Amino acid sequence: MKHTFFSFLTLLILNQSIGQTKEDLVDVSSLNKEYVEKINSISSPLSLSKKSFYLDQDWRHVVIVTKENEVLHSSGRINLVRMLVEILVEKHVRRLNESKVKALIFDGDKIIRIPGSRIEGRNISSYMHVLADGHLTLLEAYKIGFKTESDGYSGVVVDEKMILESEFFYTADFKTFNKLKGKKEILSLMQDRKVDAENLIKENKLKLDERRDLAVLFEYYNNFFDPKKGSD
């Protein structure tokens, strides 16, 4: 029976977070001295820079799973320009030391950090958003693009704005991560359930360049391998 990385992770978090509400966890770092000390041990001071671009500008509740399988809670955000996670501890911003972290979960969104050597192509952030976890795990990787604006008359560029772009990746073992290259490749990956996948795409008019539709397809495929449903 195959256990996915995040099925284990979810169980771990549930076992260690019983009785704590989301509202409690947002403030826990300012209430518990021992808790603050643990977060400080896996982070370092950070001075904010104007050169920033966030996956989400707002501070969000984050569950931090360390390499030692400790589960910590704080408020955080991902800075894609500097390729780091900023966390807020007692009103001070600190940099999360990625080498000490196994995974992050932002308000239920599963975010993992992938070593660059495992990723096909390296022009993206090493942080990936897990959209569907299972036999084949679907991830969305983010990168920063640039959009130029001219003055409308002479064509002279007056501003260059950073914009968020993304690409989809998949993995079967969490050791190698490959970029999805289109419908033909997706159906090839799902060869053992190709007819079922094709029917789902057709019946629901799924667009495989959109994150929601891709997630629906991968979740559907992974359900065939869910031991709770008596499948493979």
Question: Where do the structural domains in the chain lie, given as residue ranges?
Answer: 1-109
Q: Does residue 99 register a pLDDT over 80? A: yes
Q: Given this model, what pLDDT does residue 42 score?
A: 92
Q: Given this model, what pLDDT does residue 2 score?
A: 45
The helix or strand, by DSSP H or E, that contains position 9, with its residue range, turns out to be helix 5-16
Task: Yes or no: say if 31 and 89 are a contact pair by the CB < 8 Å rule.
Answer: no
Mean pLDDT of 123-136: 83
- Count of other CB atoms within 10 angstroms of residue 99: 8
More confidently predicted of 71 and 117: 71
Query: pLDDT-derived band of residue 16, with 50, 70 and 90 as boundaries?
Result: very low
Q: Does residue 8 register a pLDDT over 80? A: no
Contacts of 24 (CB under 8 A, 6+ apart): none
Task: Give dist(CA 133, CA 115) in Å, integer.
Answer: 19
DSSP code per residue over 87-107 = EEETTEEEEE-GGGEEEEEET
Query: pLDDT-derived band of residue 187, with 50, 70 and 90 as boundaries?
Result: very high
Task: Give dist(CA 86, CA 101) in Å, integer.
Answer: 13
Please provide the average confidence, as pLDDT, over all residues in the chain: 78
Mean pLDDT of 195-207: 95
- Count of other CB atoms within 10 angstroms of residue 100: 14
Task: Yes or no: say if 213 and 202 are a contact pair by the CB < 8 Å rule.
Answer: no
Q: Given this model, what pLDDT does residue 18 score?
A: 33
Give burial (CB, 10 Å; 0-12/13-18/19+) of 128: buried
Q: Would you state the structure tokens that stand for residue 112, as one six-digit string?
A: 């993992």
Question: What is the percent of the chain with per-residue pLDDT over 70, rounded to a whole number?
Answer: 73
pLDDT in tens, 145-185: 777 776 666 666 556 677 888 889 999 988 888 889 889 99
Q: Given this model, what pLDDT does residue 50 score?
A: 66
Q: Given this model, what pLDDT does residue 84 score?
A: 84
Query: pLDDT-derived band of residue 200, with 50, 70 and 90 as boundaries?
Result: very high
Sign of CA dihedral 135, 178, 57, 39: positive
pLDDT in tens, 46-86: 877 667 888 888 888 888 888 888 888 888 998 887 778 89
The helix or strand, by DSSP H or E, that contains position 168, with its residue range, turns out to be strand 157-171
Task: Give dist(CA 13, CA 71) in Å, integer.
Answer: 7
More confidently predicted of 80 and 136: 136
Closest of 85, 110, 113 to residue 174, by C-alpha: 113
Q: Does residue 19 register a pLDDT over 90? A: no
